[in-house]
Structure 1
Amino acid sequence: MSTLEEQIDIDAPLDRTWDTLHRVESYPAFVNGVREARPEGENKAHLDLTAGGRARELDVETSDRGKEMVWHTTSGPDLAGTVSLLPIDRDHTRVQARFEYQPETIKEEFGGPSGFAQAAAIERGVRSDLQQFKELVERERKQ
């Protein structure tokens, strides 16, 4: 199992950031490749995505531990992770993302590079998702 950890600081209070993270319908706005996301019952979501040039569907289950969202796929490739929110001060939040995956599974399911190039591509993807999440939360805060 490989693990990637990234973090970003957001110019928004923790509660607003938490609310945006839990709004499943907003995932296409910040998760690369997700075309549509919809809640399916308590703590479950269905994601339609494009990855490696192919359409895919994933079901995801989440649970909360304080201000940490733990997630894992329940269909499709075996993927898991956590998103933790930490207050920096009353108006700023640190988002820490942890992504766990099997490199062979990523290659088989989504294509793309392997080895070091794969790890670099996943790292860029997670960083991009976090940056887009930051922009979404901060844009909504100004509205």
Structure 2
Amino acid sequence: MSMVKESVDVAVPLHAAYNQWTLAEEFPRFMEGVDSVSRLDSRHNHWQTSIDGITREFDTEIVDQEPEELIAWRGMDGEAERKEVVTFRRLDPGHTRVTLAVDLRPAGPGEKAADVRGEVDRRVKGDLRRFKEYVEERARGRGGAG
């Protein structure tokens, strides 16, 4: 099992960072290997991913959500065991620290090999870097950090 925890400071207010993360349908814009995410209901999403030549579909369930503080979810695919928590901390009126913790038990030899190579760690770092670019660009496009 891999446990990865990374943070990134984004130049947007807390509500903007949190609200962007609640739009799961936009995850493919900044998450590597995520082809699509569709909302099934207020607590469940369906994911389609393609990572290292392995295509997978699975559902996730939001198990905890505190507005402008955290969102926690778990995978429900029966193969890979996955738990993720993203937290948001206001640094000042225009900056927020976003921390993503991923706890993953890979399924199958391909995913286990990717885990050993540090792919989960690399992917989390890259996803947060791309989230920073994405949310800041969207804020600039709206003419402010709003």
TM-score normalised according to structure 2 size: 0.87
Tell me if structure 1 keeps the 8 A contact 2:114–2:120. no
Q: How big is the shift at 1:106? A: 4.6
Residue 69 of structure 2 corresponds to residue 61 of structure 1: no
Aligned residues: percent identity?
Answer: 24
Q: How big is the shift at 1:55? A: 1.5
The aligned length equals 138
Residue 125 of structure 2 corresponds to residue 141 of structure 1: no
Structure 2's unaligned 5+ residue stretches are: 142-146
Q: Which residue of 2 aligns with 1:48?
A: 48
| Cα distance in 2 for residues equivalent to 1:141 and 1:34 | 23
| Cα distance in 1 for residues equivalent to 2:54 and 2:84 | 23
For residues 72-111 of structure 1, the aligned pairs below 5 Å read 72-75=74-77, 76-102=79-105, 105-108=106-109, 110=111
Which amino acid counterpart does residue 65 of structure 2 have in structure 1?
D
For residues 101-125 of structure 1, give each alpha carbon's deviation from its aligned partner in whole angstroms, at most 9, with x where no partner exists.
Answer: 22xx25536354453x2xx221111
Which amino acid counterpart does residue 18 of structure 2 have in structure 1?
W
Tell me if structure 2 keeps the 8 A contact 1:52–1:112. no
Tell me if structure 2 keeps the 8 A contact 1:14–1:92. yes
Structure 1's unaligned 5+ residue stretches are: none
TM-score normalised according to structure 1 size: 0.88
SS at match of 2:81: coil
Deviates more, 1:85-94 or 1:71-80: 71-80
Which amino acid counterpart does residue 66 of structure 2 have in structure 1?
R
| Cα distance in 2 for residues equivalent to 1:82 and 1:64 | 9
Q: How big is the shift at 1:26? A: 0.4
| Cα distance in 2 for residues equivalent to 1:135 and 1:55 | 26
Tell me if structure 2 keeps the 8 A contact 1:107–1:114. no
Q: Which residue of 2 aligns with 1:124?
A: 122
